[in-house]
């Protein structure tokens, strides 16, 4: 049974349709990569799934219930989001991670000892519990990204959505974040849907990859099967010889 289902979905904003006729199902426990060029609509799709943008047409079902019937706090208990860009937080790491407990709090209610314990456990899952009292703004970009993943884990979701989680990180921090993504999935069976425009990241972490091109799903399968020279040349508008030159491991 699918956890998340997109049925004949059209997405866009300001009356502009970016992609349509999307029919995709997502099961729990998998790492799924949505791969495509910049501007192809990956982020718009994520925001539509998250309820931040309304569908232009079609339906989204979560646990067999139409997404439009989910109250925001209930949706946040099911799906957590790590955005591509984040605001500066002049707070301690503990307070940033505690933001993940907001869906469970009543109006004007403060986090209690149980919430603080869950936040500390989320930090421990990522291996950064020693950041607890540090200032978020004083951390490196890679460290901040790990804190934001911990904040998402504090929501105790069934699905974690990540928009290009390694963007603007150096090579070392990219590998650290990707390793944590794989580790989380292996240890907790948490479903993860992430966007990337780097094919090698899909090969590193994904159980399944969707190639997004010109508003359509070009291919949907395990990455080893669909990350071909022909497919990558098409979605990135490059000559096959250029792809072959830089990605020797692809057929």
CATH of the domain at 12: 3.40.50.300
Provide the pLDDT for residue 158.
93
Provide the pLDDT for residue 146.
92
Pairwise CA distance, residues 228 & 251, whole Å: 5
Provide the pLDDT for residue 130.
96
Range of the domain at 99: 4-246
> For residue 251, is it within any domain?
no
> For residue 237, is it within any domain?
yes
Provide the pLDDT for residue 248.
63
- Overall number of domains in the chain: 1
> For residue 182, is it within any domain?
yes
> For residue 34, is it within any domain?
yes
Provide the pLDDT for residue 209.
97
E-only strand ranges, the chain: 4-13, 16-26, 31-35, 57-62, 65-66, 79-82, 159-163, 191-196, 208-213, 216-221
Q: Residues 99-143: pLDDT tens digits? A: 999 999 988 899 999 999 999 999 999 999 999 999 999 998 889
Q: What is the pTM of this model?
A: 0.92
Q: Which residues of the chain have pLDDT under 50?
A: none
Provide the pLDDT for residue 197.
85
Provide the pLDDT for residue 244.
84
How many Cβ atoms from other residues are within 10 Å of residue 210's Cβ?
Answer: 25
């Amino acid at each position: 049974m699918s956890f998340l289902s997109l049925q004949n979905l059209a997405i866009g904003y300001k009356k502009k349709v970016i992609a349509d006729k999307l029919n995709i199902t997502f099961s729990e426990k998998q790492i799924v990569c949505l791969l495509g060029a910049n501007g192809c609509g990956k982020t718009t799709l994520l925001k539509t799934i998250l309820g931040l943008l309304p569908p232009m047409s079609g339906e989204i079902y979560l646990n067999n219930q139409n997404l439009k019937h989910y109250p925001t706090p209930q949706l946040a208990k099911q799906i957590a989001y790590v955005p591509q860009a984040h605001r500066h937080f002049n707070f301690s790491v503990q307070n940033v991670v505690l933001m993940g407990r907001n869906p469970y709090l009543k109006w004007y209610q403060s986090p209690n000892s149980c919430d603080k314990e869950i936040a500390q456990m989320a930090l421990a899952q990522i291996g950064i519990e020693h950041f607890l009292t540090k200032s978020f703004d004083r951390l490196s970009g890679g460290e901040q990204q790990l804190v934001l993943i911990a904040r998402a884990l504090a929501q105790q979701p069934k699905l974690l959505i990540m928009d290009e989680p390694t963007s603007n990180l150096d090579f070392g921090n990219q590998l650290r974040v990707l390793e944590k993504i794989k580790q989380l999935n292996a240890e907790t069976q948490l479903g993860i849907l992430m966007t990337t425009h780097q094919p090698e990241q899909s090969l590193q972490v994904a159980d399944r990859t969707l190639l997004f091109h010109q508003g359509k799903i070009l291919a949907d399968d395990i990455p080893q099967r669909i990350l071909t020279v022909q497919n990558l040349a098409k979605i990135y508008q490059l000559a096959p010889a250029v792809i072959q030159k830089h990605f020797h491991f692809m057929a």
